[in-house]
Amino acid sequence: MPGAADIARNEKLKQRLQFYEDLGLAPFYRDRTASSSESAQSQPPLSAAVSSSHPIEEAPLPKSTLKSAPAPPIAPPAKSVAPLSSSGTSLFDAANKLSTETLLQIRDDLGECTRCKLHSTRNKIVFGDGSPKAQLVFVGEGPGADEDAQGLPFVGRAGKLLTQMIEAMGLQRPDVYICNVVKCRPPGNRQPEPDEVASCSPFLFRQLDSIKPKVIVCLGATAFQTLLQTNRSISHYRGQWLDYRGYKMLPTYHPAYLLRNPAAKADVWKDLQKVMAELGLEIKKKAK
Ligand code: URA
């Protein structure tokens, strides 16, 4: 009889395999028992590679492709859309980027915040979670019910999916930093309103300047629009390297969107592979 621990492990494994299947990676693990000619046929493109930390056997890519590949140039936006950039060219931006402020100091300054109306309905402030020295920061929109209850970002259903994505990159949650544009839950999970974003986003900017990550991944439109101070649609820019005041920034779909549109997971996985290449994380390809 399998014990509770075995059942839990099997369930976790099942969810992980389902996740890889959603990403379009199913042939990797199916091929392990297939004949070599079958595997050649079902081999996915090189770009659909995954890290060594999960049970998928692949040969490493040549070293040159694993090291911080230069970011592809920003693709020209659609005709009607002007190029986006928020390069840190002003003295103000330059000074902010020299910040030696710690996350604790920023959290202290936030205090029991009452700067916007969200304070009156929140349960807990969700400041952020993870390594203060993370090379990779994920920025979401704002806490949902689970986050509001626990005071931690991305711990609900969307959070579980984000955790799977992080693990598929060969990382663990404590390796990265996760935060949101607004730190208090908007009632009924509505989008944060402009005055709420205006009050709260300076704390996000300070968090980013404190961490100084190599890469920022914006999860969804609110994070993308807030960092780039634009109201343009994320859809033109998803998966492209952009510049946020000198930081490399890549917008991708929000995990909550992926829960509603699982077919978009493959796009997000491609985006995350770009991030992995930029961070020098091992991307493996399938053995011949
Ligand atoms: N969605 C977000 O944008 N952030 C969270 O922390 C949870 C869900």
pLDDT in tens, 140-198: 999 999 999 999 999 999 999 999 999 999 999 999 999 999 999 999 999 999 999 99
Mutate to test the pocket of ligand 1, among 129, 147, 207, 234 (most ligand atoms within 8 A of CB): 147
Q: How many Å lie between the centroid of ligand 1 and the Cα of residue 75?
A: 28
Tens-digit pLDDT profile for residues 118-140: 999 999 999 999 999 999 999 99
Ligand 1 binding pocket includes 180 (Cβ within 6 Å): yes
Q: From CA 86, how far away is CA 78, in angstroms rounded?
A: 18
Tens-digit pLDDT profile for residues 73-91: 333 343 344 456 665 556 6
63: CB partners within 8 A, 6+ apart? none
Q: From CA 29, how far away is CA 194, in angstroms rounded?
A: 46
Q: From CA 43, how far away is CA 48, in angstroms rounded?
A: 10
Comparing CA positions, the residue from 186, 244, 185 lying closest to residue 212 is 244
CA angle 72, 73, 77 (to 5 degrees): 125
Closest Cα to atom 7, ligand 1: which residue? 154
Give the distance, in angstroms, between the CA of residue 214 and the centroid of all CA atoms in the same chain: 13
Half-sphere exposure of 229 (CA within 13 A, CB side): 10
Q: Specify the range with the lowest mean pLDDT, choosing from 5-14, 73-82, 274-283.
A: 73-82
- CB-based contact 45:270 (threshold 8 Å): no
Ligand 1 binding pocket includes 186 (Cβ within 6 Å): no
Q: From CA 141, how far away is CA 219, in angstroms rounded?
A: 7
Q: How many Å lie between the centroid of ligand 1 and the Cα of residue 177?
A: 13
pLDDT above 70 coverage of the chain, percent: 71
